[in-house]
Chains A and B, each alone.
Chain A
Amino acid sequence: MPLEPNGFVQLFMSPTESEVILSQQGLRLIPLGQWVHLGPSGTKLRQHKFAELRLGPWQQHNTHGPVSPNDWLREKDFTYKKLRALLSDARHDCVFFPNEFQHYAYLPREIGESVEDWQTRCIYNSCVWYYQHCHAMVPVIMVTEREEIIQRYSNETEGVYVLSFKNYLETFWPDLKAAKELYDSVRQALFERETDSRESNGKEYQEHLPLEVLEAGIKSGRYKQVSQRRQSMAQTICSELTMNLAMQGVLSVNKHRSQMEAFVRLQGLAGKDSDLQSDVLIHGNKARNRAIHGDVVAVEILPKCDWKGRIGALCEREADERAVDTQSEVMMTGRNTNSGKNAQKVLVTPWDYRIPKIRISTQQAEALQDFRVVVRIDSWESSSLYPNGHFVRALGRIGDLEAEIATILVENSISMNPFSEAQLAEMPSNSPENPWRVAPEQCDRQDLRETHLVFSIDPIGCEDVDDALSIRALKSGHLELGVHIADVTHFVQPNSYTDMEAKTRATTYYLADRRFDMLPHILSADLCSLLGGVDRYAVSVMWELDSATYEIGRVWYGRTIIRSSYKLSYEVAQQLLDGNLEPLGTEPELKSLSQDSIQLDRLLWAIRKLTEVAQAVRSRRDMHGALELEGVEVRVQLGEEHSIDDLVPKQPLQVHETIAECMILANHWVAKKIWESYPQQALLRLHPPPRQEFFKELKESAQAKGFLIDTRTNKTLADSLDKANDPSDPLVNRLLRAMATQAMSNAQYFSTGSYTEDLFYHYGLALDKYTHFTSPIRRYADIIVHKLLLAAINDGPREPLLGNKDLEELCRHINSRNRAAQHCQKQSTELFQCMFFRDKDPESDQRCICDAIIYSIRTNGVLLFIPR
């Protein structure tokens, strides 16, 4: 067919689920309210297939998915979620067309017509309508897998083509081998699944219960039917459990004994039912009954006398956990068994050992030996020991640095494509020929360039300087402390491509040897970054402080123009603070100061004053019970060409604390301000108090050394941690602090409309309101907070703020991305640690031997604390 991909409307449709996607370049010219219709969902497998194909890189630039979810389609359905994500992300250019509500696209159902046929007819009719709507200028393609549809409709209307998926790929994307392979892999998996289901052999697992039975059981809290059919297999660790109680929870597999032990953390019910405080233990693979880490499962607690319980059924696979349970990295094992044609079945071993081995069939088994590959789990038949999956793509050879990093990224579902042209086109330029300048219309900003001495303190080599500080004495005798934050919202327009991309990324990802920026380089390292000696836009918070007590008086928020005078590093700032003027000679930025003693004195005074203020603020927070926690971070010192020179633990300096305290102060005041202005839709950050049972280990360890740890409130915990100091062994205190850190729950973003005010408390910092405001270059939450703050002080263009529900959804997204970023950072550091030690000989190399403290003994091992 002499068709070209450009200028066509392409409509994808898989027959069973009748989902449709139209795609065409430049569809945005056509008014909104376009497209078609999504019908009943078919097998899970098919849904995965199409979702995946659609999201492939080859379609990113021109996919328009006009899809309307049928109203009965469940919200948790996999496809539905994917579609929603697709539609909500403007980068995919997907449009929603409710054809059932469109006068000309609607067709009434005929008597005796099956739903499926009717929907197919509707979709086809919509295509024809769209074709005519575009004055027959744009050919429309409908893609389906069902032969009879192709035969029936392909010749009906000129300009509307009906193709099979295979045909479509071959015609329009002949160069995309990856797509073809993926398609074949899915086809293969589908085909085998059909054949497999026919030959039912001996069952390895019990069948899952139908959903209705489950729902009824969960609702009533009883599971009579189930208990009769199932005999007890596993034990529970709960002591006083009611018999036959059915519960719902999230399965988490034990890290240390993934084969045998898994726990179910109960959802919600625990509070209602005071008996059930604890998690439920699922013992053995049989009892786990094909559930995978992260699944939502229903469990049945078995009679107390047996100490047993087991998984009744798999409720649903949480789509959020997809990355872990369906896209696991796998390593090929040697077990290949031939099965017909030239496709081979192979078992792959997931990177995450909590996930069982997966059987896939592929034609390239040999080529993939010892490779990291991505596979997707499709199904797990009760007759099979292993789940079935299909091969998606290969990442690289095992042990290769790039492949391993790619693995970490996929495992945390981070996809990092470079910024697209459309996104970069939105960026202002800053080149030597055409330097970026402060626009004259920005004169309503407060100009601090002449009046304030502004400087920034950051780690060495930092490019994205979010924050700068200033302090000066006012005529009234008060002090004025200023925190100036890069004004990212000035450059990133809401709902622009850059904004969308930043929202998706949510944060900058720091790996041990590289980073993935949230914003394009021109913003993050140049125009937004508060570099020394250049004019920059900022959003500032300025406090008037009493010069003796440092009590906070008036607070001013607003947009400003600043020029940072010095860009210091922590180390240099610390030296200056200690009175060591050595860096003046070595740092090029400070050279001028060695001649100019007035300027030097101003800077030294400012740093000293800042430190004093920070100490005062800190001690006020300490009185309310702020915690000082120990976290050992290792920095990888990289030499030339990615060789690893050494592993260095980070050294805490006094200036670190000063800067941190100023940022906390700014965040706190901004949080107060936006909460007052928008009590229903402010984005804040809370830190829930930890669960008391997590402190057990800490208490026991402290007791062994003769200390008592009081964990009732953060104040008592902070005090007792301070007291637990063994003068002869300073490590004890560090260890205890590290253990307390481990017991903490994670802080999270939330929308104030979703919680009551008493839950806003930040446990670790001992503040009633807290948010993130100070790093908009690398955190999306801060951008939202900036928007809120600017709206609250009536500055900047009025744009609709996010409502509570949207904000809450965004918060969940940001939280999950933040967790991914943390895991990713940790895993990459671990990777480098491993690589560092891999080449060292433990016998000869001093660095491989050091002292450690055993702080806990488990049934299958010990946990160590390495002080270095």
Chain B
Amino acid sequence: MAGLELLSDQGYRVDGRKAGELRKIQARMGVFAQADGSAYMEQGNTKALAVVYGPHEIRGSRAKTLHDRAVVNCQYSMATFSTGERKRRPHGDRTSTEMTLHLKQTFEAAILTQLYPRSQIDIYVQILQADGGNYCTCVNAATLAVIDAGIPMRDYVCASSSGFIEDTPLADLSYVEESAGGPYLSLALLPKSEQIALLEMNSRLHEDHLERVMDAASKACKDVYAVLEQVVRDHLQEVSALVGDRGAA
């Protein structure tokens, strides 16, 4: 039986995108006043909220303290209403623990932690609506939040996913494409230096194709980078204008 046609003969995907096209990205920084940094991010229908606290003194047990750098503490969660099926999602289930770990790895690689020895940076992300590429949206949102918090990083961390369907690498998979069972690769990239912060892939893929799929993912990351940078610049302009106004007044 024929399943859903994920890529039509004419090269259109289910939602009308071409193979290398991203979903629409919309983002806002500084959405919460009480946090040190925060951001809201939409990639298509996937929506995420990221909040950053710190750097501050180590909370809880002092044993975690690192003497040469800061501890990055991440927490990933999904809202009960984020998926098609309404479901209570307790903290610490297997998927979210894994995601937490991935985020931690990603940001330890990107944040200049050695500038803040014996301190802690908290990054909390929550998925409000899940429509594929949850990890990627979380990373992108957290990047904006970290920037908003003024924590120095090596570079933006931009994440995007890619898959491989019918001999064609697809960028930025949606939920439908993700759940089709094909290969799924998520990549977190420091776009300027092209260093990889995190690379993960599930399902089988012939190694001959890997390069093309990687290329698609890194291209998507760079596209994301362009958008994020614009968001940050716009935000700064807005904020500085406000400050300027106040200064003038």
Contacts and interface: CB of A to CB of B under 8 A. Distances in A.
Interface of A: 68-69, 71, 74-76, 84, 87-88, 96, 98, 100-101, 215, 679-680, 803-806
Contacts of B1: 74, 215
B93 interface: no
30 contacts: A68-B10, A69-B5, A69-B8, A71-B4, A71-B5, A74-B1, A74-B2, A75-B2, A75-B5, A76-B2, A84-B9, A87-B10, A88-B9, A96-B9, A96-B10, A98-B10, A98-B12, A98-B16, A100-B16, A101-B12, A101-B16, A215-B1, A679-B208, A680-B206, A680-B208, A803-B167, A804-B167, A805-B166, A805-B167, A806-B167
Contacts of A100: 16
A101 B12 CA distance: 9
B9 A87 contact: yes
Nearest to B12: A98
A266 to B, nearest CB: 17
B201 interface: no
Given A74-B1, A804-B167, 18 more contacts: A68-B10, A69-B5, A74-B2, A76-B2, A84-B9, A88-B9, A96-B9, A96-B10, A98-B10, A98-B12, A98-B16, A100-B16, A101-B16, A215-B1, A680-B206, A803-B167, A805-B167, A806-B167
A101 B21 CA distance: 14
Please list the 3 inter-chain residue pairs (A to B) with the smallest Cβ-Cβ separation, ordered nearest first. A75-B2, A101-B16, A803-B167
Contacts of A215: 1
B14 interface: yes
Contacts of B14: 71
A87 B10 CA distance: 9
A71 B2 CA distance: 11
A64 to B, nearest CB: 14
Contacts of B2: 74-76
Nearest to A32: B10
Interface in B127-179: 166-167
A635 to B, nearest CB: 43
Contacts of A679: 208
Nearest to A679: B208
A115 B178 CA distance: 28
Contacts of B206: 680
Nearest to A69: B8
Contacts of A803: 167
B71 to A, nearest CB: 47
Contacts of B9: 84, 87-88, 96
Contacts of A68: 10
Contacts of B166: 805
A739 B14 CA distance: 52
Contacts of A87: 9-10
A679 B5 CA distance: 27
A617 to B, nearest CB: 33
Nearest to B2: A75
Nearest to B14: A71
Nearest to A219: B1
A101 B2 CA distance: 23
A58 B56 CA distance: 79
Contacts of B8: 69
Interface in B1-44: 1-2, 4-5, 8-10, 12, 14, 16
A68 B166 CA distance: 19
A74 B166 CA distance: 17
Contacts of A101: 12, 16
A84 B2 CA distance: 15
Contacts of A805: 166-167
B168 to A, nearest CB: 8
A308 to B, nearest CB: 28
A21 to B, nearest CB: 15
B1 to A, nearest CB: 7
Nearest to A218: B1
Contacts of B12: 98, 101
A812 to B, nearest CB: 16
A75 B9 CA distance: 12
